[in-house]
Each structure stands twice: as C-alpha cells, then as structure tokens.
Amino acid sequence: MYSLIIHMATSTERRANVDRLLDDLPDARVIDAIDGRTPEIQATIATRNGDMFAPAYPFSPLLGGEIGCFLSHRASWQAIVDNNWPAALIAEDDLEIAPDALAPLLALLGRHTDPDVFIRIPPKDREPLTMVDDQEGDLKLFTPALIGLQTTFQLVGLETAKRLLAATEVLDRPVDTLLQMHWITGQKIQTILPNGCTEKTFPGSGSTVQSKTTGVFHKISREVARARYRGALKRHPQT
C-alpha cells in the first residue's frame, strides 16, 4: 500500500506533522498542494456555479481554497493512475492518528486495497453505523447511507481514481460535496468509525477555505439552504 500526503511547502508550521505522517504511513511521500487562490491556477480550470448536477449546490461560486483542495485531490488521484498503484492512502497534512489506533487501522485498510475501493477515515464521527462489512478491534468498516463531508484521510483504488478524474473535469462544488453524490460518480464509498483520527490545529494557521459568511441574516440563509441541500441528498441513500 502506498500513501500520499497533500502539503503546501509554504505551510512550514505543518512540516513536523508531515514528517510524522511520512514515518507512520506505508510507503509515504508528499504531493504538492495546489493553491487555488492564484489567478494563474484559476485561469486553467473549468468551473460552474453549482448547477451541473441535481441537487444544485447553493453556495457558489467556489472559493480559491475550495478550488485548491479539489485540484490537490485530483492531483493525488492522477498520481495513483500514473503510478498504476492498485490503491493508495491520501492524507491531508493536518491529519493526526492516535498511536494505539495506527496498527489496527492499517491492518483493516490493508485488507481492502482493491482497485474499486474508496474508504473514508473521517476525523468526525457523524455517520450512523449500518451493517458492518469488516472490523479490526473497535474499528468498523461500513457503508453509510449518507456519505459524510471532509477529505482528511481516505483509501482510493486505481479504478476509483480513474472514475473520479473522469467525473470532475469541470468543478461545480467542493470535492467532499461531489463525493457525496455516489449516483453521479458511480462510486460506492465506505467509512471506518471509530478510527483514532483527528485534525491537528496549528497556532496562527488559518484555513485556506475562506468564510463566505458576512452577517446574521446571511448565516441564517445559509443554514436554511444547507438543510434543504442535505434533505435532497438524503433522497439518494447508498443503503
């Protein structure tokens, strides 16, 4: 099994964590994160305002940080294809794995490195457990009805990478939101929970995904739109 760690070299405060991930994850290497906030990057990509698929994404246009995150994951999928790896782990550089969870997590993942796999290892436990597909200690692999958000850590197979690259030549919503749409991508997504993973915080380091919120009314409007969008997603369960 191979591992890719998405990291922007200018984020020097994260380098020690990247080095730890390089030690912890199997056959690991760094893949350069893409800064989607730069005009030269934005000029090279095709985007739409959330209207490519139903349900339409209500929070458009994409921000630079969201573009960069999406392109960084596309670069990781492309690396899997270019290297002809059966599957690879993809980690963002703020991932932390509890030491006592690392061995069972890798053991569980190691049993599922087939080319059609996509397994999320999310830092937040927000997906209700369904039928357990496999288990290592307390760690359970299952197929959630509604796929969760975040792309902090995942296992992606070769055929999956090809499928996702073909489905994302035009960007119209954030990468984690697109991945929820299994009926569009044709990709089944499994989850491991609990998993011992968290997001490490870095003092003085803000998110590259800028806030779109500007006031109380705007916040309320966004919450209403988010609830409607989530309700539309629930009409397309995986299980």
Residue 57: which domain range? Answer: 2-233
Q: Is residue 239 part of a domain?
A: no
Q: Is residue 191 part of a domain?
A: yes
Q: What percent of the chain has pLDDT over 70?
A: 95
What is the per-residue pLDDT for 239?
A: 79
Q: Is residue 238 part of a domain?
A: no
Band (207; pLDDT cuts 50, 70, 90): very low
What is the per-residue pLDDT for 117?
A: 99
| Each residue's pLDDT tens digit, 169-188 | 999 999 999 999 999 999 99
Label each residue of the chain as H, E or C. Answer: CEEEEEECCCCHHHHHHHHHHHHHCCCEEEEECCCCCCHHHHCCCEECCCCCCCCCCCCCCCCHHHHHHHHHHHHHHHHHHHHCCCEEEEEECCEEECHHHHHHHHHHHHCCCCCCCEEECCCCCCCCCCCEEEEECCEEEECCCCCCCCCCEEEEEHHHHHHHHHHCCEECCCHHHHHCCHHHHCCCCEEEECCCEEECCCCCCCCCCCCCCCCHHHHHHHHHHHHHHHHHHCCCCCC
Domain count for the chain:
1
What is the per-residue pLDDT for 140?
A: 99
| Each residue's pLDDT tens digit, 136-179 | 999 999 999 999 999 999 999 999 999 999 999 999 999 999 99
Residue 23 in this model has a pLDDT that exceeds 90: yes
Task: Give me the CATH number covering residue 140.
Answer: 3.90.550
Q: What percent of the chain has pLDDT over 90?
A: 92
